[in-house]
Every structure is written in C-alpha cells, then in structure tokens.
A and B are shown apart, each in its own frame.
Chain A
C-alpha cells in the first residue's frame, strides 16, 4: 500500500513536470486587458518563459502597469517545450474561458502554427515573441511577429562571409525545421553571391558528441564552417569539439547565427566561444541608450543571474507594438482593427529600429554581425557590421 501511494505521488509529480501547472485566474474587472502568454515555464526550456515574463514586466513597469491606459492581466500557460497539441488546447482555453484580448509568447514554431489556427478562428490578435519559422505569419492573418525568422538572420551571414573573402563553406545544422531553414537560406544567399557549399551535414537533435563530425570537417579542410543549432546545449558542445580538435589552428573559420552565442547561455558556454562571428538581431552589448536602460532595468528587477536575451527583447517589443497599435485604434481591441493597426507600426527597440511589415505582418529589422569578446570580464557579442532593414528573405519576391 505504502509503495502504491508513493508510486502515485511520483507519477503525480512526473505528470506535473510534463504538463506544468496551468494558472487559472478569476476574471478581473471589465476594463482590464487580458493577455494570454503561452510559453515554456518548466523543463529544459523553462528560461524561455522567464525571459518572456521579464521582458513583458519591464515594459509594463515602464508604463505604470498599463497598456493603452488600461490595466493588464497576464495569464500564463506552460507548454514545457514543443507541444503543439497542448499549445492549441491552451489557446482555446484562454480564448473561451479566460476571454483574453490577445495571445502572446510562443517559443516554439510548431506551437505557433497551432496557436495561429485558433487565433484565426477566434479573431484574436497574436504576437509571436520567438517562434522563428518563416511561414507562421502567412498561415494565420491574426499573427504578427516581433522576434525574427531563421532565414532573416542566416542569409546576412552568407552575404557577410562573401564580402569577407570566404568562398567555400561546409554547413552543419541540427536536423529539425529551423536547422533546415537556416541551411537553405544560407545556401541560397551564398550560392547566389558566387560562393560554393562543399558539404552539408544535418546532425540529430540531442546529439551528445560532435567530435566525429568535427574531425571530418578538419580532414576535409573547408575554408569555413557555418553552423546552426538551437540555443542551449548543442552550441557549446560543438564549440568545445571545434576547439579541442584545433580547427582554428588548421585555419578553418567558423561562422554561425546568434543562437550559438545566445546571451543567456554565453557564460555557461565559456571561453570556447571567444572570437566566434555570428549574425543576429539582438546583442546584450548593443550600444544604444535604449538597450543600456533595458538591461539595467532587467538586472535591477530580476537580478544578475539571468542575462536578458533576444526572447526578453522580443517580448518587450511585443508589448510596445500592441501599445502602438491600440493607440491607432484609440483603444478598440477588435481583432481586425488591431491587426490592421499593427501593420506598419515602427519604433526604436533595445535592439535598434524595428517595424512590422504591412504586407506580411512580419518584422523588419537590422541584422548585426557580431564577434564574441571579453568586455569587463564578461563574454558578450560585440557588433561590428550590420545589414539594415532586413525582411524575411523567404517572403521576398523570388
């Protein structure tokens, strides 16, 4: 009996880990704006949700806790990773039960597709604050994005490489939708500019050890390697193998997108990241007063343990975009009107100037080329080159 009850407890805990505890709050007073945030708050990606929350909180604090002059209630739902079924169910719950005015957050692309379908049906404006698959905004007319697309940051890396005398590249990407997107966008831009792809490898997700792949690269002696892995575990593993095998000494250059040097993981990645050149839309070290203030607010409110990353910035900007749109509709939260108002919204973000493309509802922004350096004892991405007003290349005319 004792064992049975223990087992039941263990299973209960396990299922709590798996599905997360969804918070349900009573309906607030009528003039409150309700925003449903769907993100990962538990499991290996729990930091994603925290970054969203912090970004939203900073914007709200800056504006007296109000969006378009109305109080805001945030209702969080935890998907604990890529879980489209769960995301869809949460979106439905938020719309039907919590009567939210907007949906937001959404870290994984499969979740964004699922939420987008619900948003379209319920005509609820949805702000994607991370999910980076290109087609998300084309699938649902009620979705706008304040983050980026994988293609948007991969193609400029190819252009920069060509500009800097790199003619032959070996690509290594994680074998999932975003990895394939990065690979094809890089290839397309690189070959269009006269470059040559010598080999392309897709490595399985959760690959523990890259040494064999790296050894192969070393023996094939390409001029440079382009990598794309999701933020977190894989980039440091690859960088370690790259360093250990002495590819730098063998004269092989390494280039990547900003996921490889994600600000919130850079400390854990350590010195193996030094000197790595990446392309991305946001760096913690972006030298604008707006960003200085943003990171200062972040550390005073949430401590120094977690560094703000592009997740937090996209969440902060998502709130700013909603506010700008509601200013245009004079506070009307009707789905169609808000979506119409979101088109063409433009403002200064901590990452630099951004705008919502009126044609695609996707973001237009500067993509920076950065190098990892140690500044005041801290590893940061120092921006040294940039491509302005970059749109998602996937949606540009062919």
Chain B
C-alpha cells in the first residue's frame, strides 16, 4: 500500500513536469492550429538560460525559474512575429518541416556554444534529498515540482476562465471570424497565448534539468513525450493536458517499478489504448 502511494507520488511529480513543458504545445497546436515541433527547443532554451545564470552570474536556482519563463516568453514573441506568423496559413507539412528545421538549428546552435555534453546543475541543499512524512519517503524536489505544477495549473485555469484576456482567447478559439467582428485582435491574442505557452516550456525546461537532464539533443529526445501528452490529453484543453501528463507520468513510473523489464514501453500501450477509445484525446475539443 505505502509502496503504491510512493510510486503514485513519483508519477504525479513526473507528470507535473511533463504538463508544464507540454501545455504550451497544446496551446499552439490546439488553439492556433499550428504544428510547432520546435516546442522542445523553447524548453531547452529555458534550461540553458537557467544553467548560465546559475554558473556564470551566480544566481540562486529559484531566481532562475521566473527568468527562464520571462526571457523565453519574450524571445518566443520575436520568433512568432518574425517566423511563425508567415506559416499560419500554410499546410501542416510546411509547418512540420519548418519547425523541425528550426529544431535542428537550435540543436546545432546550442552544441556550437555549449558543446555536446550534459550541463551540470547542483540544486540548493533545501531542495535535495528526501523527507519522511507519515512513514513514507518523499523526494523534496518532487514535492516542489508538484507545488509549482499546482500553482501554474491554478493560474492558467483561472486566467482562462476568469479574466478578460481568457474570455478573448476562448472567443478567438471558438469562432475567430466572429471574434474579429467583435473587435478582438485575434492575431495579437494568439501571439500572447503563444508567448505564455512558450514561457511555460522555458520554465519546465529549467525545472526539468534535475530530472530530464540537459544537453543539445533535448528537443528531439523529449518531443515524443510532449506529443504523447498533447495527443492523449486532447488539443487545446488545459485540464486534458494535465490529466494526460499525470496519467503518462504515473503509468510510466508504475510500469518501470512493477515490470522493470518492459516498463518503459507501457506508456505507448496506454497511449494507443486511450486514443482508440477517444481519438480526439481525453478532453479534446476538435478533431
């Protein structure tokens, strides 16, 4: 029983991390209809920014997290305005080719600047080790991940449900033509949404170094995980993405624990099963 609880906890923490990195992809693909396979590159950018700030500028780890969010969000606005905007009306094949090309360029650029090897990151002492709560060992960093994940989820859900900007996003998604008619700047709204999603990817990249590691192959290595989360969750759905990320995280950890010989492949089986049951994802809005 207690073993199961511990694994559930680990899986949820892993899921939260996947959620933070994937939610932006769900936004771009689901809301804006743009196949942004370079999403992982934004996450990687956040990770490298955090390591540079820590190693060269001597920033504390916690201070690098908001910086990763803000800088990646701003950079993504630039990328969106200069490059992505031209491709909104093109077919998915053009978008896929372009963003994959962009990913390769990011990989090559990072290799050129930082070299091909893994970046070392040392967490502050208070985030390391385990703590014992009611006879169970919990990783402190994982507790921290869950806390950040819950906070971000709350902020995103409230932001979309309760704010004027959220209402504009929902309107622009549901009926872009009508929204334009009502005077909403659909392009601008999407640009901001894209920036927020990319910023979250940057934050996830910085948070994930400890668990996922960080080297130039990051965007290609984890692309498949982001795509699984987004497709299982359903495009454009925050709660769907969260649910899918937690499911993937928990199944992955359960599989590796109870069936270590085949465990890592269980998430693929889960993905296939769920998509057969609900082809649009768990809480997807459109096909």
Contact = CB atoms under 8 A, between A and B. Distances in A.
A11 interface: yes
B120 A267 contact: yes
A215 B6 contact: yes
B139 A212 contact: no
B119 A268 contact: yes
Interface stretch (A44-52, A55-63, A117-125): A44-52
B3 A17 contact: no
B10 A208 contact: no
B167 to A, nearest CB: 33
A216 B216 CA distance: 30
Interface string A12-43: 01101110000000000000000000000011
B104 A201 contact: no
B115 to A, nearest CB: 7
B108 A233 contact: no
B268 to A, nearest CB: 11
A207 interface: yes
Contact of A3 (B87, B210, B221, B264): B87
A14 B263 contact: no
Contacts of B258: 216
> Of residues B90, B108, B225, which shows the largest number of chain A Cβ atoms within 10 Å of its Cβ?
B108
A168 to B, nearest CB: 17
A202 B139 contact: no
Interface stretch (A150-158, A236-244, A295-303, A319-327): A236-244
Given A212-B253, A215-B6, A265 B211 contact: no
B149 to A, nearest CB: 15
Given A244-B141, A268-B120, A211 B213 contact: no
Contact of B260 (A3, A213, A246): A213
Given A216-B257, A237-B213, A244-B128, A10 B108 contact: no
Contact of A47 (B6, B86, B117, B139): B117
B130 to A, nearest CB: 6
Contact of A208 (B98, B115, B141, B213): B213
A46 B98 CA distance: 25
Contacts of B221: 206, 208
A204 B104 CA distance: 24
Contacts of A216: 256-258, 260
B62 interface: no
A204 B100 CA distance: 24
B213 A236 contact: yes
B116 interface: yes
Interface residues of A, number: 47
Nearest to A237: B213
A209 B222 CA distance: 12
B97 A212 contact: no
A396 interface: no
B120 A269 contact: yes
Given A213-B260, A233-B215, A14 B101 contact: yes
Contacts of A269: 118, 120
A232 interface: yes
Contact of B105 (A14, A201, A268): A14
A215 B263 CA distance: 14
A192 interface: no
B260 A201 contact: yes
B117 A265 contact: yes
Contact of A215 (B10, B122, B217): B10
Contacts of B139: 211, 244-245
Given A14-B104, A212-B7, A245-B130, A232 B253 contact: no
Among B94, B107, B256, B258, residue most surrounded by chain A Cβ atoms (within 10 Å): B256
A6 B221 CA distance: 25
B150 interface: no
B102 interface: yes
B190 interface: no
A17 B122 CA distance: 30
B263 A212 contact: yes
A2 to B, nearest CB: 8
B39 to A, nearest CB: 16
Contact of A204 (B86, B128, B215, B264): B264
A208 B111 CA distance: 20
B155 interface: no
Contacts of A202: 261
Q: Give the top 10 A-B pairs by smallest Cβ distance, nearest first.
A: A10-B101, A14-B104, A212-B256, A268-B120, A201-B260, A212-B253, A46-B116, A204-B264, A212-B257, A208-B212
Interface of B: 3, 6-7, 10, 14, 83, 86-87, 90, 94, 97-98, 100-102, 104-105, 107-108, 111, 115-120, 122, 128-130, 137, 139, 141, 210-213, 215-217, 221-222, 225, 252-258, 260-261, 263-265
Interface of A: 2-3, 6-7, 10-11, 13-14, 16-18, 42-47, 199, 201-204, 206-209, 211-213, 215-216, 219, 232-233, 236-237, 240, 244-246, 264-265, 267-271
29 contacts: A2-B86, A10-B104, A13-B105, A43-B116, A44-B116, A44-B217, A47-B115, A199-B260, A202-B261, A203-B260, A208-B222, A209-B212, A209-B252, A211-B211, A212-B7, A212-B253, A212-B257, A213-B257, A213-B260, A215-B6, A215-B7, A216-B258, A233-B215, A236-B118, A244-B128, A244-B130, A246-B130, A246-B137, A267-B120
Given A47-B117, A270-B120, 17 more contacts: A2-B86, A7-B98, A13-B104, A13-B105, A14-B104, A201-B261, A204-B265, A208-B213, A209-B252, A212-B252, A212-B263, A213-B256, A216-B257, A216-B260, A236-B213, A268-B117, A269-B120
